[in-house]
Amino acid sequence: MSGPDTFAFSVLVVTAGVTITRVASVFFRRGAARDDTRRDAAMEERLARIEHAVDAIAVEVERVSEGQRFATKVLADRLHQADAVLPAAGRGYDVR
């Protein structure tokens, strides 16, 4: 090969290399974007399940606290009723 032929061949190889590199990078970026979309959808589903679980836990905690309030009210009412029936017993007096 002579000088101009070698130069033309070198330009062709460099141009082809740059073109192939650009096309490959675009192709792989597009594939990564699809994976990100899939990951985002999976993340949204997971967050929705977590949100549902937290809501269910909040409802159960509210039910437990309502039961606790009810039990406390019943015990307090019993204490007040006992004081009303035996007023001296609640004050530390000896009632024999």
pTM here is: 0.45
d(CA 71, CA 66): 9
* Residue 38: both structure tokens together: 């899939």
Look up residue 48 and give its two tokens.
């929705």
Amino acid at 33: A
Q: Domain boundaries in the chain?
A: 3-91
Residues with pLDDT less than 70, the chain: 1, 31-36, 84-96
Q: Give the pLDDT of residue 63.
A: 93
HSE toward the beta carbon, residue 95, CA cutoff 13 A:
10
Assigned token pair, 10? 């070198």
Please tell me the predicted confidence (pLDDT) of residue 50: 94
User: Shortest CA distance to 52 belongs to which of 41, 62, 44, 63?
Assistant: 44
